[in-house]
Amino acid sequence: MRRALYRDLLRWKSRKNRKPLLLEGARQVGKTYLLEEFADKEYSDYAYFNFEKAPELDSLFKKTLDSRSIIKSLELFRGKKIDPASTLIFFDEIQASQRALTSLKYFCEESPEYNVVSAGSLLGVSINRTTSFPVGKVNFMMLYPLSFFEYLSAVKADLLIDYLNKLDEPVQIENIIHDQLLSHYKMYLFLGGMPEVVQAYILNDDIAEVRNIQTEILNAYKRDFSKYTTAAEAIKISKIWNSIPAQLARENKKFKYSNVSKGGRALKFESAIEWLEKAGLVYTVKNLKTPKLPLSGYVDRSKFKLYVLDSGLLGAMLNIQSRVIVRGNSLFSEYNGAFIENYAASELIKSGFQELFYWTSKYEAEVDFVITNGDNKIIPIEVKSGLSRQKKSLRVYDEKYNPEIMVRLSPGNFIQDKNFVNIPLYAIPFLSKL
């Protein structure tokens, strides 16, 4: 499965000042598969060490943090020499060994000629808990579930990607192409972007198998709650996680602690939300008091929304049935548009918009997302599940702030009218061209 991050790995390999690489991402987003593919294609040798499957590896790092000594121990462990020029050293599930994490500092300082990559499902959680993390001595990358464009590539629809990538302006595309893209998009909403799910559907075309895999992934996440936290904290994390689908299914999707448990308060559950964020399982969208730069300086921290990392997993949590895919555009409006807002949040993040905000004006209007682009322009974004051209919330925002550009994401075709642009839901990466 072709991943966009592969190009970043190639750039990392060619850097003169390359540091050991840490690939972050939630469990089962394809980190190991991607790095194994990278090793197979770009190196003549590959030294793989998994700290969860072989916990005895940790003892090699407890003896010493000297990188040369560690290399010799790893050579003995694998029974083969490690060549700095041709071997890729891969530490998988590195969060299981704090000493291995710390050793990356010494690989950077003492042995920069070695090609060292590492990955972990809960690196964000582990890094937060250790006092010996090698700050400034590693390069970071983040891997997410497959984006919609990556999904199109997986299902051999590369011509559609090429067509969209060649668009420089938001001009209407041919209806037959628009309909093809919407059809793929609806299937993607149901499947989501977890690689195992997509691969299983491509190979077997079995919706029941897809849902079973999604359920297994969700169960694996729940096991991590207990494995990597205290019993008391695991209960809080589970309560937050289990409440998210119902929170998103409401008309007002603002997160409410009282919906988690009776009398719920921020003081009780903030650390659980932080854990889910660091594990890569949720995205937080914060409320803006006023859309001014820097946006992070105008946040109302008491108001926010939580979205799940993948629309397919959200569908499994809500037990959405597959027949909704063939019922026109009804999937878009299921659970008050929970799917498309969740999809939009995750797709915006995958497209490079790392900080997401939303804006409200008392009881008048709510703009679903507010972002800044590379030119530091503030862009308000409204997400619509239907084809209605009404844009009340954007009008209110326009009257107050007169933005240079406003965006609606909807199932409709490209439209541009003065400072207003409609972008089809499947074409969110086009935002970077505005």
Would residue 292 count as lying in a domain? yes
Number of domains forming the structure of the chain? 2
**123 plus 262 within the same structural domain:** no
Would residue 186 count as lying in a domain? yes
**176 plus 137 within the same structural domain:** no
Core vs surface per residue 358-386: b (16+ CB within 10 A) or e: bbbeeeebbbbbbbbeeeeebbbbbbbbe
**168 plus 60 within the same structural domain:** no
Place 127 in a pLDDT band, splitting at 50, 70 and 90. low
Core vs surface per residue 11-41: b (16+ CB within 10 A) or e: ebeeeeebbbbbbbbbbbbbbbbbbebbbee
**184 plus 244 within the same structural domain:** yes
* Mean pLDDT of the chain, nearest integer: 92
CB atoms closer than 10 angstroms to residue 128: 12
Give the pLDDT score at 194: 98
- What value does the mean pLDDT take over residues 169-194? 95
**357 plus 418 within the same structural domain:** yes
Residue reference for tokens 């009881």:
363
CA distance 369 to 285: 8
- What value does the mean pLDDT take over residues 153-178? 95
Query: 62: helix, coil or strand?
Result: helix
**188 plus 118 within the same structural domain:** no
**176 plus 136 within the same structural domain:** no
Q: Report the half-sphere exposure of 385 (CA within 13 A, side-chain side).
A: 18
CA distance 6 to 226: 33
Give the pLDDT score at 81: 97
CA distance 168 to 346: 23
pLDDT digits (tens, 9 = 90+) for 248-295: 988 889 999 999 988 888 889 999 999 999 999 999 999 999 999 999
Q: Report the half-sphere exposure of 411 (CA within 13 A, side-chain side).
A: 21
Backbone φ and ψ for 29, nearest 5 degrees, come out as -90, 0
Contact 342, 283 (CB under 8 A): no
Domain boundary (142, 174, 195) is at: 142
**123 plus 178 within the same structural domain:** no
- What value does the mean pLDDT take over residues 198-218? 96
Residue 347 amino acid letter: E
Would residue 149 count as lying in a domain? no
132 has a pLDDT exceeding 90: no
**233 plus 343 within the same structural domain:** yes
Give the pLDDT score at 140: 94
Would residue 148 count as lying in a domain? no
Would residue 152 count as lying in a domain? no
Residues spanned by the domain of 429: 164-433
Query: Strands across the sheet with 21-24, in order?
Result: 45-50, 87-92, 115-119, 21-24, 139-142
Domain boundary (109, 142, 175) is at: 142
Burial of residue 1 (CB within 10 Å: 0-12, 13-18, 19+) is: middle
Would residue 159 count as lying in a domain? no
pLDDT digits (tens, 9 = 90+) for 310-352: 999 999 998 888 777 656 666 677 777 888 999 999 999 999 9
**233 plus 194 within the same structural domain:** yes
Would residue 428 count as lying in a domain? yes
Say what the alpha-carbon torsion angle 173, 338, 268, 291 is, to the nearest 10 degrees: 40
Would residue 238 count as lying in a domain? yes
pLDDT digits (tens, 9 = 90+) for 399-429: 999 999 999 999 999 999 999 999 999 999 9
389 has a pLDDT exceeding 70: no
**13 plus 105 within the same structural domain:** yes
CA distance 304 to 377: 22
**137 plus 178 within the same structural domain:** no
Give the pLDDT score at 322: 78
Give the pLDDT score at 325: 64
- Closest listed residue to residue 372, CA positions, set 260, 296, 274, 270: 296
Domain boundary (142, 172, 201) is at: 142
Give the pLDDT score at 319: 86
